[in-house]
Amino acid sequence: MVKYVNGKGVIGSFNKFQLTQTYTTFLILSTYEHNGEKKNMAVTQFEPVDARRCFPCWDEPAFKATFKITLDVPSELIALSNMPIIEEKVNGHLKTVSYQESPIMSTYLVAIVVGLFDYVEDHTTDGVKVRVYCQVGKANQGKFALHVAVKTLDLYKEYFAVPYSLPKLDMIAIPDFAAGAMENYGLVTYRETALLYDDQHSAAANKQRVATVVAHELAHQWFGNLVTMEWWTHLWLNEGFATWVSYLATDSLFPEWKVWNQFLEESNHGLTLDGLAESHPIEVEINHASEVDEIFDAISYRKGASVIRMLQSYLGADCFQKSLAAYIKKHSCSNTKTEDLWAALEEGSGEPVNNLMSSWTKQQGYPVVTVKVKDEKLVFEQSRFLSSGSCGEGQWIVPITLCCGSYDVRKNFLLQTKTESVDIKEFLGCSISKYSGGNDKYCDWIKLNVDQTGFYRVKYDEDLAAKLRNAIEKNHLTPTDRFGILDDAFALSMACQQSVASLLTLMGAYREELDYTVLSNLISISYKLERIAADAVPELLDNLRQFFTNIFQFAAEKLGWDPKPDESHLDAMLRGELLTALALFGHEQTIKEANRRCLAFLDDRSTPVLPPDIRKAAYVAVMQTVNASNRSGYESLLRIYRESDLSQEKTRILSSLASCPDPNIILEVLNFLLSSEVRSQDAVFGLGVNWQARETAWTWLKTKWEEISKIFDSGFLIGRFVSATVSPFASYEKAKEVEEFFASRVKPSMARTLKQSIERVHINSRWVQSVQKETTLPDAIRELAWRRY
Ligand code: BES
Ligand code: ZN
């Protein structure tokens, strides 16, 4: 029974739950094994709009109420809710559990979990009891998350200058869970992969995921739960902010992980999605409940977090923190709009924050800032960046930062108009000869968007770009700036504003790169280029792969296959990504060695030759050798999948299976994803199929559409099926075919994703045509492939 009280009196109560089989509804029926027996657990998931399906209520974030919950459950089970238990009365097979009345809160944060669990427990310095619950027998795997949670609660208490507001915090791993995690007040639910960490079998990347997800959900206990967005239009306040703060907390706990460098990957996803015409503003109009699911996307999370970071770096960390603390204090237990946050920051800083930030949150897209040297002047010009290469509308207030020749020569200003030019000598206090001389000694670089804290792209004139390339080769730039230059060049190339030949030449400047974040981006760019080249210039594919292999071998050889004693977290993550890339680009030695190590692992799951950080790489390598007449590698991976009870291991295998280049095997893999052996939440991991099987995946999607749309119903996962299968195409005919197929099948929860995927196909098509016209590309690729570094 749930009683909800608004202000003075009880305004309603409800006492019947209906268990349902599909997990996209408000009540998840999750299954697990205990002593060889299949068991059920019941878990609520209300955000965004499903509390109304459980009990009658004003189910909008601004209607806050207090909740007094009572449950009748089988007496042998553990029953958790937002608040601590005040009374338990056993009555035969059933017990009645009553919970303390909650403070005032929104309906989407109410939660209940019932099942059999183990737990580990600790306390914050304030004495708040924190527990991590998990399946019976897995309690040890909860210890890392528990440590992170206790430390993070202490940290947020300092940062927000308000203590955690409930008497307890429970965090629980749910085997079937569509989202990554959910911040229910005092009872946070997680996927197993986002909460559990196994010393023996989890990878460094899994550990980092657990830390950032815990930090994200705990940030919501303040930003979201205590102070809640007034309407879904302001969802980004919750999600963008929690994403940003999760980096702050993780960085404070694990500085050696350099997560602020890795944050660039978040920004990058935001920039990529927001480079589409079918993007949406951060503050997006929501008219119907069915539209809410879709805005839990890279705009709300990643662009949201990035514009917060941009603002923090403009205002300064100290002023930013103090203003936030004032905001939390002022709006505790109530609701806010985006303007309320700006008002607090305006008050704290004296800067016109509302004006500055409205251009980023009310308007979709972002600018590309073009910079060139002309007649002793630096000329800046802004226009909307679109991956389609079209000219977009819009103007932003852009916090420009730049460095010149060294990180000691730094300038900042706000670009408020379309164009602005400054006298170099006056602006930088040095002479133009520095920028125009062919002599290396004077050949200094200018880098805009220092440290990549701004949410915009930069396009340099040819001369400035050449100087930056030189600075990269000489290792004069920080990893974040090396990342930014590469990433902007890639985006401009995709928009056909820069040739692929020049992008590849730039990539050659990274041949001695060792930084995790930079290499990781270099790798993902090389995957995308491979796909475009496969359509545009298939005869050059082998040469292109050779070039990429040459670049990645430098770092791969330094790292080797086996972990070094006391090596860094980042090297451990990097090794896996490099070996995966080498395997995918067909590097024979890597594939052979991976197969050898996998065989040893099949014999003995605790062998030291296949530590968790390289397992995915080894699985991918094995799948490169699999085809209809050589299935043994595939069967072996399925065996590991079936025998492991660690979700992270299962996920690793699913995402590796899809890398097989053989379309017949891929068809088997896709069918396996829909089988009872794969939890529905995990099917999406197997969808990123090798580009050689994209046609197979699309045909499969069409054939299985009825089944898929039934399983995934209205949730956000269905959009992933669409984007994963549609986006890899690169022809206008295919875009048309996709449009026709979905004309009668589109659902509100995937409408925007479908449009975005089709736009991506158009962008790819245009890019392919442009690459085919690049007359200098074939020679450039051949030259790069044969160059030995
Ligand atoms: N509030 C969300 C959970 C959510 C997502 C509810 C989508 C309804 C729809 C939660 O705080 C969240 O953001 N979870 C993320 C993980 C996070 C670390 C980025 C998720 O589920 O992916
Ligand atoms: Zn969140």
Nearest listed ligand to the Cα of residue 215:
1
Same domain for 389 and 497?
A: no
Residue 444 lies in a domain: yes
Where a domain ends, among 70, 93, 116? 116
What is the pLDDT averaged over residues 117-136?
97
Q: Residue 438 has what pLDDT?
A: 46
Residue 14 has pLDDT above 50, yes or no: no
Q: What is the DSSP string of 380-443?
A: EEEEE--TT---B-----EEEEEEESEEEEEEEEEE-SSEEEEEHHHHHSS-THHHH--SGGG-
Residue 478 lies in a domain: no
Same domain for 354 and 446?
A: no
- In the reported structure, the alpha carbon of residue 450 is separated from the centroid of ligand 2 by a whole-number distance in angstroms of 28
Determine the Cα–Cα distance for residues 388 and 99; give it in Å rounded to an integer: 55
Higher pLDDT, 425 or 565: 565
Q: Residue 433 has what pLDDT?
A: 52
- In the reported structure, the alpha carbon of residue 179 is separated from the centroid of ligand 1 by a whole-number distance in angstroms of 6
Which residue has tokens 């309320």? 340
- In the reported structure, the alpha carbon of residue 292 is separated from the centroid of ligand 2 by a whole-number distance in angstroms of 14
Q: Residue 486 has what pLDDT?
A: 98
Q: Whose CA is nearest to atom 18 of ligand 1?
A: 213
Write the CATH number for 25. 2.60.40.1730
Where a domain ends, among 361, 390, 408? 361
Nearest listed ligand to the Cα of residue 111:
1
What is the pLDDT averaged over residues 667-674?
97
* Residue 101, CA distances (Å) to 3, 70, 104, 220 in order: 9, 10, 9, 20
Residue 662 lies in a domain: yes
Residue 660 has pLDDT above 60, yes or no: yes
What is the pLDDT averaged over residues 445-472?
97
Q: What is the DSSP string of 697-765?
A: HHHHHHHHHHHHHHHHTTSTHHHHHHHHHHTT---HHHHHHHHHHHTTT--GGGHHHHHHHHHHHHHHH
Q: Whose CA is nearest to atom 10 of ligand 1?
A: 182
Determine the Cα–Cα distance for residues 305 and 575; give it in Å rounded to an integer: 28
Residue 21 has pLDDT above 50, yes or no: no
- In the reported structure, the alpha carbon of residue 243 is separated from the centroid of ligand 2 by a whole-number distance in angstroms of 7
* Residue 747, CA distances (Å) to 712, 720, 736, 742, 759 in order: 11, 13, 18, 9, 18
pLDDT, one tens digit per residue, over 507-563 is 999 999 999 999 999 999 999 999 999 999 999 999 999 999 999 999 999 999 999
Q: Determine the structural domain holding residue 641 and report its residue range.
A: 489-786
Residue 386 has pLDDT above 90, yes or no: yes
Q: Residue 714 has what pLDDT?
A: 63
Determine the Cα–Cα distance for residues 703 and 68; give it in Å rounded to an integer: 48
Residue 144 has pLDDT above 90, yes or no: yes
Same domain for 276 and 306?
A: yes
Choose one of 216, 243, 750 to mutate for the ligand 1 pocket test, by most ligand atoms within 8 angstroms of C-beta. Answer: 216
Task: Show the ligand 1 pocket: residues with CB < 6 angstroms.
Answer: 47-48, 179-183, 212-213, 216-217, 220, 239, 242, 296
294 is catalytic: no
Same domain for 573 and 621?
A: yes
Where a domain ends, among 55, 85, 116? 116
Same domain for 540 and 463?
A: no
What is the pLDDT averaged over residues 269-282?
97
Residue 508 lies in a domain: yes
Residue 175 lies in a domain: no
Q: How confident is the model at residue 788 (pLDDT cuts 50, 70, 90)?
A: low
Same domain for 545 and 612?
A: yes
- In the reported structure, the alpha carbon of residue 181 is separated from the centroid of ligand 1 by a whole-number distance in angstroms of 5
Nearest to 365 by CA among 270, 274, 236: 274
Any idea which of 432-441, 443-452, 611-620 has the lowest mean pLDDT? 432-441
- In the reported structure, the alpha carbon of residue 216 is separated from the centroid of ligand 2 by a whole-number distance in angstroms of 6
Q: Whose CA is nearest to atom 22 of ligand 1?
A: 180
What is the pLDDT averaged over residues 11-30?
48
To the nearest whole number, what is the mean pLDDT of the chain?
93
Closest atom of ligand 1 to CA, residue 183:
11
Higher pLDDT, 432 or 756: 756
Residue 782 lies in a domain: yes
Q: How confident is the model at residue 24 (pLDDT cuts 50, 70, 90)?
A: very low
Same domain for 551 and 680?
A: yes
Q: How confident is the model at residue 431 (pLDDT cuts 50, 70, 90)?
A: low
Q: Residue 114 has what pLDDT?
A: 95
Choose one of 296, 684, 753 to mutate for the ligand 1 pocket test, by most ligand atoms within 8 angstroms of C-beta. Answer: 296
Q: Whose CA is nearest to atom 8 of ligand 1?
A: 47
Nearest listed ligand to the Cα of residue 249:
1
Nearest listed ligand to the Cα of residue 213:
1
Q: Residue 22 has what pLDDT?
A: 34
Closest atom of ligand 1 to CA, residue 246:
18
Residue 226 lies in a domain: no
Residue 430 has pLDDT above 80, yes or no: no
Higher pLDDT, 376 or 516: 516
Closest atom of ligand 1 to CA, residue 216:
18
Q: How confident is the model at residue 33 (pLDDT cuts 50, 70, 90)?
A: confident
Q: What is the pTM of this model?
A: 0.95
Any idea which of 137-141, 254-258, 745-749 has the lowest mean pLDDT? 745-749
Same domain for 707 and 762?
A: yes
Choose one of 26, 47, 713 to mutate for the ligand 1 pocket test, by most ligand atoms within 8 angstroms of C-beta. Answer: 47
Q: Residue 7 has what pLDDT?
A: 40
Same domain for 590 and 718?
A: yes
Residue 109 has pLDDT above 90, yes or no: yes
- In the reported structure, the alpha carbon of residue 213 is separated from the centroid of ligand 1 by a whole-number distance in angstroms of 9
Residue 765 has pLDDT above 80, yes or no: yes
What is the pLDDT averaged over residues 23-31?
61
Same domain for 720 and 750?
A: yes
Percent of the chain scoring above 90 in pLDDT:
87
One of 183, 192, 217, 420 is an active-site residue; which one?
Answer: 217
Q: Whose CA is nearest to atom 5 of ligand 1?
A: 179
Q: Residue 20 has what pLDDT?
A: 35
Residue 122 lies in a domain: no
Contact assessment for residue 138 and residue 117, using Cβ atoms and an 8 Å cutoff: no
- In the reported structure, the alpha carbon of residue 513 is separated from the centroid of ligand 2 by a whole-number distance in angstroms of 34
Write the CATH number for 672. 1.25.50.20
Q: Whose CA is nearest to atom 6 of ligand 1?
A: 47
Q: Residue 36 has what pLDDT?
A: 81
Residue 434 has pLDDT above 60, yes or no: no
What is the pLDDT averaged over residues 622-631?
96
Residue 6 has pLDDT above 80, yes or no: no
Nearest listed ligand to the Cα of residue 24:
1
Higher pLDDT, 787 or 62: 62
Contact assessment for residue 763 and residue 493, using Cβ atoms and an 8 Å cutoff: no
Domain count, the chain: 4
Same domain for 540 and 624?
A: yes
Over the Cα atoms of the chain, what is R_g? 27
Closest atom of ligand 1 to CA, residue 239:
13
Q: Whose CA is nearest to atom 3 of ligand 1?
A: 182
Helices (H) and strands (E) in the chain, counts: 28, 23
Q: Whose CA is nearest to atom 13 of ligand 1?
A: 239
Same domain for 320 and 447?
A: no
